[in-house]
Structure 1
Amino acid sequence: MAWYPGAIKMELQPESDAQPAIRPTQFIVHSIVAPWTPERTYEHWKNSTNLESHFGLGYDGRMGQYIGTETRADANAAANRRPDGTGAVSIETASNTSATDPWTPEQVEALVRLGVWLHRTHGIPLRVCRSHSDPGYGYHSLHREWSTSGTACPGRPRIAQFRDEVFPAIVARASGASATPSKEDDMPSAEEVAAEVWRHRLPHPRADITITAATLLRQAWIKVERTEARIVAQAAVIEQLAAALAAHHQEIDPDGLIARIEAAIEGITVRLDVQEES
Structure 2
Amino acid sequence: MAWYPFARKLELQPESDGQPAIRPTQVILHSIAAPWSVDRLFEYWKSTSLESHFGLDYDGDLGQFIGTETRADANAGANRRPDGTGAVSIETASNTRASDPWTGKQVEKLIALGSWLHHRHGIPLRVCRSASDPGYGYHRLFADWSVSGTACPGDARVSQFRNVVFPGIVARATGQSPPLEDPDMPSMMNESNAVDVSLRSGVWTGLAFTDAVLHSGPRRHSTLVHLLFADSTHKEARIEGRFYLTDTTGGNPSAYLTVTGKGPGGHQFQCSADVPGGRHLRFEVRATTPDGSSVRLLHRVLSGPYWAL
TM-score tier by shorter-chain length is 0.5 to 0.7
Using structure 1 for the length normalisation, give the TM-score: 0.64
Gaps of 5+ in 2: 186-309
User: In structure 1, how many angstroms separate the alpha carbons of the residues matched to 2:184 and 2:35?
Assistant: 20
- C-alpha distance in 2 between matches for 1:43 and 1:77: 21
Distance 2:32 2:66 in 1: 17
Per-residue Cα deviation, 1:9-63 (whole angstroms, up to 9, x for no partner) = 0000001111000000000000000000110000111132x22110000000010
One-letter code aligned to 1:143: F
Is 1:15 the equivalent of 2:25?
no
Matched residues, number: 186
How big is the alpha-carbon RMSD for the aligned residues of Structure 1 and Structure 2? 1.8
Separation (CA, whole Å) in 2 of partners of 1:193 and 1:18: 41
SS at 1:157 equivalent: helix
Q: 1:176 deviation in Å?
A: 1.9
Q: Which residue of 2 aligns with 1:141?
A: 140
Give the counterpart letter for 1:13 in structure 2. Q
In structure 1, the residue corresponding to 2:160 is in which secondary structure? helix
Residue 194 in structure 1 maps to residue 220 in structure 2: no
SS at match of 1:92: strand
Alignment map for 1:145-184 (pairs within 5 Å): 145-176=144-175
CA distance in 1 between partners of 2:12 and 2:86 (Å): 19
Determine the C-alpha separation between the residues in 2 that align with 1:151 and 1:43. Answer: 23
The alpha carbon displacement at 1:195 in A equals 6.5
Cα distance in structure 2, aligned partners of 1:127 and 1:121: 16
Matching residue's letter, 2:77: A
Alignment partner, residue 40 of structure 2: 40
Percent identity between the aligned chains? 71
- Structure 1 stretches of 4+ with a deviation exceeding 3 A read none
Report which of the two has the higher share of strand.
2
Match of 2:3 in 1: 3
Q: Secondary structure at the match of 1:194?
A: coil
Tell me, in whole angstroms, the C-alpha distance in 2 between the residues paired with 1:82 and 1:76.
Answer: 11
How far apart, in 2, do the equivalents of 1:144 and 1:99 lie? 18
Q: Provide the rounded CA distance (Å) in 2 between the counterparts of 1:193 and 1:93.
A: 20
For residues 176-210 of structure 1, give each alpha carbon's deviation from its aligned partner in whole angstroms, at most 9, with x where no partner exists: 26xxxxxxx8xx78x544269xxxxxxxxxxxxxx
Quick one: distance in 2 between partners of 1:11 and 1:176?
Answer: 31
Please tell me the residue identity of whatever aligns with 1:67: I
Q: Which has the larger Rg?
A: 1
TM-score normalised according to structure 2 size = 0.58
Q: Quick check: which one's helix share is greater? A: 1
CA-to-aligned-CA distance 1:104-133 (integer Å, 9 cap, x gap): 000000000000000000000000000000
| Residue of structure 2 in register with 1:199 after alignment | none
Alpha-carbon distance between aligned partners in 2 of 1:150 and 1:195, rounded to the nearest angstrom? 36
Runs of at least 5 residues in structure 1 that lack an aligned partner in the other structure: 178-184, 197-278
Equivalent position of 2:29 in the other structure: 29
Aligned mates of 1:73, 1:27 — CA distance in 2 = 12
Cα distance in 1, alignment partners of residues 94 and 172 from structure 2? 26
Q: How is 1:86-235 mapped onto 2 (pairs within 5 angstroms)?
A: 86-176=85-175, 192-194=181-183
